[in-house]
Amino acid sequence: MSFFQNLVGYITSLRGVDLAIALGYLVAFFVSWFITRWLLNVKFKKLPQIHAVIYALQAVLFTVIALVSYKYINDPILKILYRDTAVSVAAALLAGAVFSFVRIGKVLRLITYLGFFLALIVEIVIIFTTNLGLLKILIPLRKFLILLSLFPILYALTELISVKRFKKVLRTLLGGLFLTIGLLWELGYVNFDITAFVGIGIIVATTLVYSWFISHGTVVLTKLFKVLQINEDDGETLLDSLKKLGFLLLLYIYWIVGIYYLNLEKLVQQLKGIILFDTPIVKISLFNLLASVYLFLFLFYLINILKKVVKLIYPPQEREDKGGSIEAVVYNLGMLLNITLSLSAMGLTWKAILPLAGALGIGLGFGLQTILNNYVSGFILMFSRNIRVGDFVELPGNAGQFINNPSNYIFGRVEDISILTTRIRTLDGIDILVPNSTFIGNQIINYSLKNPFVRVRFPFGVAYSSDPDKVKEILIKLAYDCPWAKNYYRPPQVWFTSLGDSALLFELLMWVDIRELWKNPYKTLSYSLVDWVYTNGFKRLKEANIEIPFPQQDIWFRNNLKVVIENEEGKPLGVLKKEDRTKDV
């Protein structure tokens, strides 16, 4: 009996109710499809968001209709066809929602819709044909048509992302996932049924959410960070961590969908069966290794977000010092917990680590001594609070030969205290990583340990003919006019320090807030405070006719000198005597 005879005979044998439900569902879909297309093109042509919402609502509506009416169909074959038809309808409507956001080529859209339709036709042929040779061709063909229909949807999802770097990563990810699932399906490791299409719908929905977050959500968060007065560095770190954590969550959703909706249990079992390290104490499989790497990355970015959120608990004026210190504590304790959990997920528990550490302790002890010293020193710094994030410190060392900095000390602000090193940013904008043990075993100058006010000294030299009281008056007035001087904290002073070789030496002493100096647009003492004091001090002393001498020496001869003036040939022209010194020669 031929295919068409089988099909006609089957249709004539159906109950009227079953046939009415199936045909009614199809008619309702096509009528709704054409009405929706006409309405959107006429009324909401320039509103793609409305298009997407309507298509998505239609997908939900026809899915609900199919679920309700499915139980009233008695014929088992029609149940299969009705179920797969409903899945194809929902998939086509979801594709319309995606295509509303992304204007891809007509050919790609046609591939999707035609692919779903042809896959359904091929399934009907598979059910009613008796040709075994044809079945061997049609079954792989149906799988290929379904995968081909999904490709434009995945491509359109990647086009929603405006950031090129994330677009490439996501496109590679979805492409690899698409090819992997297709290959596994063809090889028989994956068995697609109605739950598989539910999983594909979840993948599409979550990818749309992630795409929106990367494209538009980050813009909203950037504006929110400005409202919360989050500085630029913290905002960039928080936003970058949120992006990467979102990407990892997307991967996890893909994995869960693959397990529960795409029947990838066989793949999981095979990954667990690939043993990389097998001893009586520890056994590590490829699956455990991948799971531990994922867990480490997930907790790493989660810790980065948590440390910034904890910092936001403090008001903006206290985030740099108090918030920064708490941030360092949260990060270091979190990383310790992260490493422990990741090793445990890999299969390395303390029971396995301690014997291994004992066997390798002698060889690695000396090599790890410095690392452990810096690690422990980091916790001592954080809990002793002798050095905190936001402090201004000075320590021996050079801050950069490349920038022609001849100084033999490092001055800067503590930006971060990590597990092994402390990051200091200098006045020249250079980040220096100092081992934590340096702050424990050496003398370190902390300019802001108790408070940020420090006294700065400015030496001045004036001529011996100057009035010391007048000089003190001018310099005191200069200190009160200085915009950086904190005279409310302690008043300025002028000291007459010594009688120099060629000048009277004074020192102007004023108190300043070192945090304010750092926030200056120039971010350097040379071009702000020091420059202002000496420029204005020189002008005011000069206006008061007070001379600022330069080094000079007078030479006195004990005996009388006879100066002989000669011509070019060496013949004497005359002798300059003592009484003639003031005469012209």
pLDDT at residue number 34: 83
**C-beta of residue 486 within 8 angstroms of C-beta of residue 525:** no
In a domain, 487, yes or no: yes
Q: Are residues 152 and 12 in the same domain?
A: yes
Instruction: Looking at the structure, tell me whether residues 151 and 33 fall in a common domain.
Output: yes
**Tally of domains in the chain:** 3
* Angle, in degrees to the nearest 10, between helices 16-42 and 48-70: 170
In a domain, 424, yes or no: no
The 3-state DSSP class for residue 77 equals helix
Pick the closest to residue 87 from 205, 208, 193, 206 (CA basis). 193
97 and 151, same domain (yes or no): yes
pLDDT in tens, 314-351: 777 767 666 776 777 788 788 888 888 888 888 776 56
Looking at residue 466, what DSSP letter applies? S
Strand partners, 284: 277
Please list, residue by residue across 537-574, b when 16 or more beta carbons sit within 10 angstroms of its beta carbon and e when fewer do.
beeebeeeebeebeeeeeeeeeeeeeeeeeeeeeeeee
| Cross-strand partners of 283 | 278
Query: Is 359 contained in some domain?
Result: no
Do 21 and 116 lie in one domain? The reply is yes
**What confidence score (pLDDT) does residue 253 get?**
86
Is 135 among the domain residues?
A: yes
Tell me, yes or no, whether 55 lies in a domain: yes
pLDDT of residue 582: 47
Q: What pLDDT sits at residue 161?
A: 62
Query: Do 122 and 203 fall within a single domain?
Result: no
Whether 338 maps to a domain, the answer reads no
Q: What is the enclosing helix (H) or strand (E) of 433?
A: strand 431-435
- Mapping DSSP onto H, E and C, the string for 360-428 reads HHHHHHHHHHHHHHHHHHHHHHHHHCCCCCCCEEEEECCCCCCCCCCCCEEEEEEEEECCCEEEEEECC
Which residues does 298 contact at the CB level (< 8 Å), separation at least 6?
245, 248, 252
User: CA-CA distance, 76 to 67, in Å (whole number)?
Assistant: 15
Contacts of residue 225, Cβ cutoff 8 Å, sequence gap at least 6: 234, 235, 238, 239
How many of the other CB atoms lie within 10 Å of CB of 279?
10
CA 307, CA 403: separation in Å to the nearest integer? Answer: 34
Regions in the chain scoring below 50 on pLDDT? 359-361, 363-364, 521-524, 526, 581-585
Q: Rounded distance, CA 78 to CA 124, Å?
A: 10
Give me the pLDDT at residue 77, please.
86
Count CB-CB contacts under 10 A for residue 377: 21
- Judge whether 353 lies within some domain: no
What is residue 122's predicted lDDT score, i.e. its pLDDT? Answer: 86
For residues 147 and 178, state if they share a domain.
no
Q: Which residues contact 331 (CB under 8 A, 6 or more apart)?
A: 303, 304, 307, 418
Of the chain, the end-to-end C-alpha distance in Å amounts to 141
Please tell me the distance from the alpha carbon of residue 562 to that of residue 578, in angstroms, as a whole number: 8
d(CA 478, CA 540): 8
Question: Are 166 and 137 members of one domain?
Answer: no
pLDDT in tens, 497-550: 998 888 899 999 999 888 777 765 444 454 578 888 999 999 999 999 988 887
Same domain, 20 and 131: yes
Check if the beta carbon of residue 160 is closer than 8 Å to that of residue 102. yes
Opening angle at CA 320, ends 316 and 321, nearest 5: 120
Locate 518 and state its tokens.
């750092």
The residue range of the domain holding 123 is 1-159
CA distance 184 to 355: 41
What per-residue confidence (pLDDT) applies to 493?
93
Residue ending a domain, among 273, 296, 323, is: 273
